[in-house]
Amino acid sequence: MRTLQDEFSAIEIGPSAAFRNLVLFPLFRAKAPLPAADYLLLEDGIAEGTVRITELNAGGSVPELRLENNADLPVLLIDGEELVGAKQNRVLNLTILAAAKHSTVIPVSCVEAGRWKMSSAEMASANHVMYSGLRHQRMTQVTESMRLTGTRRSDQGAIWQNIADKVSRLRAASPTGAMSAIYERHASSVEEFLRAFTCQENQSGVAFAIDGRVLGLEMFDRADIFRRFFPKLIRSYALDALDAPSSGATASVEHTCALVTRLSCASTFVEDALGLGKDVRLDGPQVSGAALFAQERYVHICAFEKNGSSSSFTFGTRMTRPSHRRGFWPFTRS
């Protein structure tokens, strides 16, 4: 199994793009492209009618849903994707590659505290993922649950409270306290952020900074898959950008390199995934994250700065172009 240190050593960081207080750093993989995709995305499987997500049973279970994959390929579900419908809206607790022709019970968190009533038999995929601040908190909870009890549960009460606080700050109240209502209330502003950024050719990941603080990064195994998720990720961070100050501070490539380096040095533990592959969890003094290793590669990596640090980082060597690299330091793309 390839280590995450090896994986991060192959990352190139491109020139940043900014809109208001949100800065994006495109990430590229310094290796040959993969062959055609050997899995489906969740929204494609749902659209084709080969993938269904429903309540676990007639009574339902807040932290669990049932996924039925009748497709000929595995289906990829991404940490933080929101699922709408059924008895209440949920988000996925981790990334899963669900096997073909198989039914899987998937762990989720509720993001609609005031509803427990069937609105549809099957769930649909939203056009955003959980906003980044709460996603980080929930990811840390799931990691702790895996470490202590072997389950993949979140702190549901803490998630509801976080959403309620954001609803109050952004004045996006809804009858059911739904996270989706915050996106709907601020759709116009969120879409301004989306229009301001473009996905570059061969880009397979992105690092985000808000008001000078590097907050996290996302990496996919394929550039075409990342392109599909790019709008959902922008909306996620845009919602946090709307909820953050705009002091004029900016993050640099060096800050992003520092995040990648800290992730390379973070401790990890590995467990068999719920579907195919291995769940890899990262934890360090300043960073945390999760990854799915399947089909002989890292299909998805999501990681965050614990404190959103914007302080500079002392490197053991100067970063150069790949032909002159030494060790496992990430390098920049001009």
Helices 132-149, 156-170: crossing angle, 10 deg rounding: 170
Q: Give the count of alpha carbons within 13 A of 313, CB side only.
A: 22
Rounded-to-integer distance, Cα 17 and Cα 192, Å: 14
DSSP 153: -
pLDDT tens figures, 63-121: 999 999 999 999 999 999 999 999 999 999 999 999 999 999 999 999 999 999 999 99
What's the pLDDT score for residue 131?
A: 98
Q: Give the count of alpha carbons within 13 A of 151, CB side only.
A: 10
CA distances from 267 to 73, 123, 287 (A): 33, 36, 10
| The two structure tokens encoding residue 269 | 């533990």
Q: In this structure, are strands 278-283 and 287-294 parallel, antiparallel, or unpaired? A: antiparallel
Which residue segment(s) compose the domain that 86 sits in? 4-332
Strands (E), the chain: 11-13, 17-19, 22-29, 40-41, 51-55, 64-69, 75-77, 81-84, 90-92, 96-98, 102-110, 124-129, 203-210, 213-220, 267-272, 278-283, 287-294, 297-305, 331-332
Q: Which residues contact 273 (CB under 8 A, 6 or more apart)?
A: 96, 97, 279, 292, 294
Rounded-to-integer distance, Cα 320 and Cα 26, Å: 17
Q: Are 330 and 8 in contact (CB under 8 A)?
A: yes
pLDDT tens figures, 210-233: 999 999 999 999 999 999 999 999
- Counting as low any pLDDT under 50, the low residues of the chain are 309-329
| The two structure tokens encoding residue 235 | 């909306």
Cα dihedral 50, 55, 57, 59, rounded to 10, equals: -160
Q: Which residue in 142, 144, 135 sits closest to 107, CA to CA?
A: 142
Domain total in the chain = 1
Q: Give the count of alpha carbons within 13 A of 332, CB side only.
A: 14
Question: Looking at the whole model, is its pTM more than 0.85?
Answer: yes
Rounded-to-integer distance, Cα 274 and Cα 95, Å: 9
What's the pLDDT score for residue 127?
A: 97
Rounded-to-integer distance, Cα 37 and Cα 227, Å: 13
What's the pLDDT score for residue 316?
A: 27
What's the pLDDT score for residue 318?
A: 26
Rounded-to-integer distance, Cα 273 and Cα 198, Å: 33
Q: Is 231 exposed, middle or buried (0-12, 13-18, 19+ CB in 10 A)?
A: middle
